[in-house]
Amino acid sequence: MIVGPDRHTWLPDLVARASEYFNVTEIKAGARDLSQIPLIADNWTDSDRWLLCSEGRAKPMTWLHFEPKSDSATND
């Protein structure tokens, strides 16, 4: 989870340093369509469906996924 008022300072540096060893992907929250899940769509109230999706965060967050690069790319 990436938080803090100075994220615009340290976040690019973190991604740059990590990129030497990892493929870095930024993940942001997107649309959620619970109607495609029959158990939830058919049996849950609208309020309960959205409560299920809630992470209780004050604002949208950004997540980073670090996928290790192959050994040949990091062992020059």
What pLDDT does 69 receive? 95
Could you please report the per-residue DSSP string of 17-64?
HHTTTEEEEEEE-----GGG-HHHHHHS-HHHHHHHH----SS--EEE
Q: What is the pTM of this model?
A: 0.58
- Quick: pLDDT tens for 33-48: 888 889 888 989 989 9
Looking at residue 14, its pLDDT comes to 92
Mean pLDDT of 3-31: 85
* Interior angle at CA 30, CA 32 and CA 60, nearest 5: 115
Mean pLDDT calculated for residue range 7-31:
89
pLDDT at 76 over 60: no
